[in-house]
Amino acid sequence: MGAGGLRVRIFPTARHAAAALARCVAREIRANPRLVLGLPTGRTPIALYQEIVALERSGHLDLSTATTFNLDEFAGIAAAHPGSYRAFMRRHLFDRLRSPIGRIHFLDGTAPDAARECERYERAIARAGGIDLLILGLGANGHIGFNEPGRRLVARTHLTRLTAATRAANAALFGGRASRVPRQALSMGMATILHARRIVLLATGAGKARTVAAAIRGPLTPRVPASFLQLHRHAEVWLDEAGASRLPGRRAGAKA
């Protein structure tokens, strides 16, 4: 189904979407073993990482020559902290693979000079030749990475303030306490994201349906950062039925 500039794919369930995306990653790596992948965190990609691990462990996917860049990281949180996104990636992907990923890149949330750390990350992405396939999740408030809704967006990797809604959404990583979620984070910027050669935004569940519709069908607005994906030539939105339920022409309230 085509919608604006974005290609939309709808799968029966979140598990189907995750499995198809894992197979897509495997195909991309077979075509280009030195693939540079951009990776998200959040509850949504957990199923994707499970599917990637299953493919890798059964010999159908080899990440040992690939490079990864994670989208974002909490400020002031050390890599070893269980709430860090690096620890999340270790739990769900990195430590589960038979052979380690060729090169893993992360923003360092404890870097004393955040601006320099962000510049370092931009340079590392450029040195790797840019991101070939960037997988994104979608914040319920429309954020991508940690590019939060507001009056303006930032182009490059930057230090940003998290909204109360995003801190609440990330509370599970900090013992269920939103107050313990850092107030700031480092994130790829909108241009960093839009310069990826191919983008797949994965959004599943009825809780994302309204934001999905705004991102795909709504005007480009910094109040819905994901709406800027409409500018990209090769951006796709992969949904389950529930995530797609508020798109025009779909049955409202369809179950996942």
- Closest separation between CB of residue 82 and ligand GLP, Å? 16
Catalytic residue among 108, 148, 240, 241: 148
DSSP state of 156: S
143 catalytically annotated: yes
CA angle 206, 209, 210 (to 5 degrees): 130
Catalytic residue among 16, 81, 105, 141: 141
Q: Which residues bind ligand GLP (CB under 6 A)?
A: 40-44, 71-72, 137-139, 145-146, 166, 169-170
- Active-site residue, 141 included: yes
Q: Least CB distance from residue 143 to ligand GLP, whole Å? A: 6
Which CB atom, from 62 or from 169, has the smaller least distance to ligand GLP? 169
Establish whether 72 is a catalytic residue: yes
Judged by beta carbon, residue 141 or residue 230, the one nearer ligand GLP is 141
Chain mean position to CA 8: 17
Catalytic, 195? Answer no
Minimum separation from the CB atom of position 201 to ligand GLP (A): 9
Q: Which amino acid is at 139?
A: G
Cα 234 to Cα 219: distance, rounded to the nearest angstrom: 19
Our CB check for ligand GLP shows the closer of 62 and 237 to be 237
Round to whole Å and give the CA distance between 166 and 138.
11
CB 7 within 8 Å of CB 237? yes
In the complex, what is the shortest distance from the CB of residue 141 to ligand GLP, in angstroms, rounded to a whole number?
9
Closer residue to ligand GLP, CB minimum distance, 65 or 222: 222
Tell me the two tokens of residue 51: 């599917």
Q: Are 160 and 109 in contact (CB under 8 A)?
A: no
Torsion angles phi and psi, residue 152, rounded to 5: -145, 155
Where in the sequence numbering do the catalytic residues fall? 72, 141, 143, 148
